[in-house]
């Protein structure tokens, strides 16, 4: 259950970070089409690292609440 909760946290962070990214400036310093194609991989890896650090604590809350729903003690 903890592994799945970690994946939920990672996906939540990915979606949050994806929408929080700045708009493309169109300047000569952008990475072009290559950056557009691979930026999602970088965002996903950042979300994984943040999730695995435990800084947010969302996965622990998910596990705790699901345990309570199954009748286990918190």
Kindly report the pTM of this predicted structure: 0.72
Indicate whether 22 belongs to any domain.
Answer: no
pLDDT tens, position by position, 24-74: 656 666 667 777 788 889 999 999 999 999 888 999 998 888 877 666 555
Question: Could you give the number of structural domains in the chain?
Answer: 1
Query: Looking at the domain assignment, is residue 34 inside a domain?
Result: no
Does some domain include residue 29? no
> Is residue 26 situated within a structural domain?
no
Q: Is residue 21 part of a domain?
A: no
Evaluate whether residue 46 is within a structural domain: yes
Q: Which domain holds residue 8?
A: 1-14+41-74
Q: How many CB atoms lie within 10 A of CB 51?
A: 22
Q: How far apart are CA 63 and CA 9, in angstroms?
A: 11
């Amino acid at each position: 259950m903890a592994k799945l909760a970690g994946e939920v946290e990672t996906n939540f962070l990915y979606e949050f970070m994806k929408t929080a990214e700045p708009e493309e400036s169109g300047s000569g310093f952008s990475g072009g089409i290559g950056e557009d194609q691979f930026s999602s991989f970088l965002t996903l890896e950042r979300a994984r690292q943040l999730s695995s650090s435990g800084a947010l604590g969302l996965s622990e809350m998910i596990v705790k609440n699901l345990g309570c729903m199954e009748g286990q003690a918190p």
